Amino acid sequence: MGAGFSGIRIAVTMDASMTTEEHASMKLAEFNAADPAAAQATLRPCINVSRWVEAVAAARPFTTREQLLQFATHAADPFTPAEVEAALAHHPRIGERPTAAGTEASMSRSEQAGVDPADAAAAEALARGNREYEEKFGRVFLIRAAGRTAPEILQALNQRLANSPGEEDTIVAQQLREIAVLRLEGLISE
C-alpha cells in the first residue's frame, strides 16, 4: 500500500472505453452459444452477485448487445442489501493494484487509473473523506468514476457524506448497477 492510504478503501470504476488494459472479450453470438457455466464465468467479473449472473445467463439468447445491456440493467434493479455488501467486498483498496491475471483484476487495475496515487493532496483528501464515509456508513465509498476527475470524485464524496443511510443505500446500489453494466459493455461485443 502506498503512503497515505493506511487501510483506506476507495472504490472507483472507469467507463470501459477509458481502460488502459485489454480485458477478455466475447462476441454476443459466442456468449449466446456458451454453456451456462461459461456464460456465468464471463458475467461474474462484472459484479459477483449470483442472482444477477444467473438471471442474465439464463435469459440468453439476446438478439442484440443493446438488448443484453437493457436486460442486465433491469436484472440489477434492485440489488438487495446483502448483494450490495457482497459486491463491495470485491472492490480493492485504491493504491492496491491487484496482481492477479484474471478479468476482474484487470478491470480493477484500469478502474483505479482515474485517481493518481502519486497526487498526494488528492490522495490525502480522498482518504480523509473516505474515513468519514466509512465511519458514518460502515462501508467503502463506491463511485462509478467514468469521466470524473479526482476533484469531481472528492466533491461527490463530500456531498454524499450529508446523505442519510437510506439515501446512500440507494446511491450505492445505483453505482453498482452502473458498474456492472459498464463492465459488461466492455466484455461483450456485437
1 belongs to a structural domain: no
Give the total number of structural domains in the chain. 1
Q: What is the pLDDT of residues 53-108, one digit of tens each?
A: 999 999 999 999 999 999 999 999 989 999 999 888 876 554 344 455 555 545 65
**Is 91:140 a contact under the CB 8 Å cutoff?**
yes
126 belongs to a structural domain: yes
136 belongs to a structural domain: yes
Which pLDDT score is estimated for 2? 40
Question: Taking the alpha carbons of 154, 159, 161, 167 in that order, is the dihedral positive or negative?
Answer: negative
**Is 141:129 a contact under the CB 8 Å cutoff?**
yes
Mean pLDDT of 114-123: 76
User: What are the percentages of helix, strand and coil residues in the chain, rounded to 5?
Assistant: 55, 5, 35
3 belongs to a structural domain: no
Cβ contacts of 145 within 8 Å, gap of 6 or more:
12, 13, 14, 111, 114, 115, 153
Q: What is the pLDDT confidence band of residue 114, given thresholds at 50, 70 and 90?
A: low
> Which among 80, 97, 88, 174 is positioned nearest to 130, based on CA atoms?
88
126 or 64: which carries more pLDDT confidence?
64
Question: For residues 107 and 24, what is the distance between their CA atoms, to the nearest angstrom?
Answer: 10
Residue 124 has pLDDT above 80, yes or no: yes
For the chain, give the mean pLDDT: 80
| Helical spans, DSSP H, in 19-102 | 28-33, 36-43, 50-58, 65-75, 81-88
Which pLDDT score is estimated for 123? 80
Cα distances (Å, whole numbers) of residue 39 to 30, 77, 186: 9, 20, 15
Which pLDDT score is estimated for 13? 44
Residue 10 has pLDDT above 60, yes or no: no
Question: For residues 72 and 180, what is the distance between their CA atoms, to the nearest angstrom?
Answer: 8
Residue 164 has pLDDT above 90, yes or no: yes
70 belongs to a structural domain: yes
- Percentage above 90 pLDDT, the chain: 52
Which H/E stretch holds residue 12? strand 10-13
For 44, list phi and psi in degrees, rounded to 5: -55, -40
5 belongs to a structural domain: no
Q: What is the pLDDT confidence band of residue 8, given thresholds at 50, 70 and 90?
A: very low
93 belongs to a structural domain: yes
Which pLDDT score is estimated for 135? 94
Domain that holds residue 58: 10-189
CATH (domain of 35): 1.10.3330.10
Q: What is the pLDDT of residues 131-157, one digit of tens each?
A: 899 999 998 888 887 677 788 888 999
Task: Give this prediction's pTM.
Answer: 0.79
Which pLDDT score is estimated for 145? 75
Residue 112 has pLDDT above 90, yes or no: no
67 three-class SS: helix
